[in-house]
Structure 1
Amino acid sequence: MIVPAVIGGLLILGSGLSPSSALADPGTADTTLPVRVTILYAQGTTDLQETGGRGGLARLAGVIRQEKASHDNVLVLHGGQTLAPSVLAFYDQGAHIIDLLNGMPIDVMAALNREFHHGDDKLSARAFEAGFPIVSTNAVDRSTGRPPEGLEEAVVLKAGPLQVGVLAATPLLTHETTRAHNTEFRDPVTALAAKAAALRADGVDLVVAMTGYVGDTHRAVLSAKPADIVLYQDRNRPFAVDYDGRFLSATSGPQAAFVLAIDLLVERKAGTDGRIRTSWTPAVRVIDTAAATPDPAIDVRAKAYAARLDTMLNMEVGRLTAPLDTRREALRSGENAFANAVADTLRRTLDADVALINGGGIRGDRLYPAGTLLTRRDIYGELPYHDVGVVLDVTGNQLREAIESGVSAVEQLQGRFPHLSNAEAKIDLGRPPGQRLRSLAVGGKAVVPGAHYRLATSSFLAAGGDGYGMLAGVPRLVEDRDTDFISTQLIEQIARSGAFAPRLDGRMAVTR
Structure 2
Amino acid sequence: MLKTIIILIFTLSISIAPILVAAQDSIKQATIVFTANMADVSAKGGKSYSRLATVLKQQRNENKMTIFVFGGGSVGPSPMSSFDRGSHIIDLLNTLEPDLMTITKREFSYFEDELSLRSYEAAFPLIASNIFDPLTQGNQDGLHQYALIAKPGIKIGFINIVEKEVVTEYLLKRIEVVPPEAVVHSLANQLKAQGADLVALTYSKPLLLYQDFLNSDIIDFAINIRTDGENFNRSIITHKYNFRISEKNNALKLGLQWQDSEKLNLYIEKEEIEVGDYLEDPEVALQVSSYNTRLDRLLNQHIGTLKTPMNSIRKSVRTEENAMANFIVDAMREYVKADVAILNGGSIRGGKTYTANSVLTRKDIALELPFRSRLIKVSVTGADIKTILEHGVSAVEELKGRYPHVSGIKFKYDTANARGSRVTSITFNGKAVIPTAIYSLATSDYLIGGGDEYPLIKSADSTSQTNASLPLISEVIISAIQRQQAIAPRVDSRVLRENE
TM-score, normalised relative to structure 2? 0.64
Separation in 2, partners of 1:252, 1:392 = 40
Percent of aligned pairs sharing the same letter: 20
> In the TM superposition, what are the counterparts of 1:30-49 in structure 2 within 5 Å?
32-48=25-41
* Partner residue, 2:476: 493
Match of 1:445 among 432, 440, 446: 432
Would you tell me which structure has more helix in proportion to its own residues?
Answer: 2
- Residue type at the aligned position of 1:176: T
* Aligned equivalents of 1:60, 1:47: Cα separation in 2: 14
Classify 1:220/1:354 alpha carbon distance in 2 versus 1 (closer, same or farther; 3 Å).
Answer: farther
* 1:86-105 correspondence to structure 2 within 5 Å: 86-105=78-97
- Equivalent of 2:187 in 192, 195, 201: 195
Looking at structure 1, the residues matched to 226 and 185 of structure 2 have their Cα atoms a distance apart, in angstroms, of: 21
Instruction: Tell me the CA shift for residue 243 of structure 1.
Output: 9.5
CA deviation map 1:299-327 (0-9, x unaligned) = 1100111111111113587xx8xxx8641
Aligned to 1:340: 327
Residue 327 of structure 1 pairs with residue 304 of structure 2:
no
Give SS of 1:87's match. Answer: coil
1:163 is aligned to 155
Look up the match of 1:79: 71
**In structure 1, what is the equivalent of residue 250 of structure 2?**
258
Tell me, in whole angstroms, the C-alpha distance in 1 between the residues paired with 2:492 and 2:369: 25
User: Which of 271, 276, 291 lines up with 2:277 in the alignment?
Assistant: 291
Distance 1:363 1:375, change over 3 A: closer
Deviation at 1:200, TM superposition (A): 1.7
Aligned partner of 2:203 in structure 1 is 211
Please state if 1:60 is matched with 2:52.
yes
Q: How does 1:86-485 map to 2 (within 5 A)?
A: 86-178=78-170, 180-213=172-205, 217=206, 220-222=209-211, 224-225=213-214, 226-234=218-226, 236-237=228-229, 248-252=241-245, 255=248, 257-269=249-261, 276-315=262-301, 326-328=307-309, 339-342=326-329, 345=332, 354=342, 363=354, 365-366=356-357, 375-377=361-363, 379=365, 420-424=406-410, 441=427, 445=432, 477=453
Structure 1's unaligned 5+ residue stretches are 1-29, 270-275, 369-373, 403-417, 427-437, 449-453, 458-475, 480-487
Shift of 1:445: 2.7
Alpha-carbon distance in structure 2 between the residues aligned to 1:441 and 1:490? 25
Equivalent-residue separation in structure 1 for 2:126 and 2:71 (angstroms): 10
CA 1:395–1:121 in structure 2 vs 1: closer, same or farther (change >3 Å)? closer
In structure 2, distance between residues paired with 1:251 and 1:504: 38
Q: 1:311 and 1:45, CA in 2 relative to 1: closer, same or farther beyond 3 A?
A: same
Task: Quote the RMSD (CA, aligned, Å).
Answer: 5.1
Distance 1:242 1:315 in 2: 46
2: CA distance, partners of 1:392 / 1:265: 57
Q: Which has the higher contact order (CA 8 A, sep 6+)?
A: 1
Q: Distance in 1 between matches of 2:63 and 2:324?
A: 57
Q: Which amino acid aligns with 1:327?
A: T
Q: Could you say if the C-alpha distance between residues 367 and 184 of structure 1 is closer, same or farther in structure 2, counting changes exceeding 3 Å?
A: closer
Conserved in 1, the CA contact under 8 Å of 2:204 and 2:224?
Answer: yes
Say if 1:259 and 1:144 are closer, same or farther in 2 by CA, change over 3 A.
Answer: same
Cα separation, partners in 2 of 1:114 and 1:506, compared to 1, 3 Å: closer
Q: Is the 8 A contact 1:50 1:59 kept in 2?
A: no
Q: 1:329 to 1:78 in 2, by over 3 A?
A: closer
* 2:354 counterpart SS class: coil
Task: Give the AA of the match of 1:221.
Answer: Y
Q: Aligned with 1:252: secondary structure? A: coil
The structural deviation recorded for 1:342 is: 3.9
Q: Higher Cα Rg: structure 1 or 2?
A: 2
CA contact (8 A) 1:172 1:188 kept: no
- Maintained 8 Å contact 2:310/2:323: no
Secondary structure of the structure 1 residue equivalent to 2:290: helix
Q: Name the amino acid aligned to 1:341.
A: I
**Residue 289 (structure 1) shift:** 1.5
Conserved in 2, the CA contact under 8 Å of 1:327 and 1:364?
Answer: yes
Query: 1:191-228: per-residue Cα shift (whole Å, max 9, x none)?
Result: 22221122123331100121113xxx555534543521
Q: Could you tell me how far 1:356 is from its partner in structure 2?
A: 8.0
Give the strand-richer structure, 1 or 2. 1
The SS at the match of 2:176 is: strand
SS in 2 for 1:39: strand
The C-alpha deviation readout for 1:92-137, integer Å capped at 9, x for no partner, is 0110000001001210000111112211111111111111110000
Q: How far apart, CA to CA, are the structure 1 residues paired with 2:65 and 2:230?
A: 27
Would the aligned equivalents of 2:326 and 2:490 in 1 still touch at CA under 8 Å?
no
Question: What is the SS of the residue equivalent to 1:260?
Answer: strand
Q: 1:344 to 1:250 in 2, by over 3 A?
A: farther
Q: Which amino acid aligns with 1:339?
A: N
1:56 is paired with a residue whose SS is: helix
| C-alpha contact (below 8 Å) 1:110/1:136 kept by paired residues | yes
Gaps of 5+ in 2: 1-22, 374-384, 397-403, 413-423, 436-440, 445-451, 456-470, 496-500
| CA shift in 2, pair 1:343/1:57, >3 Å | farther
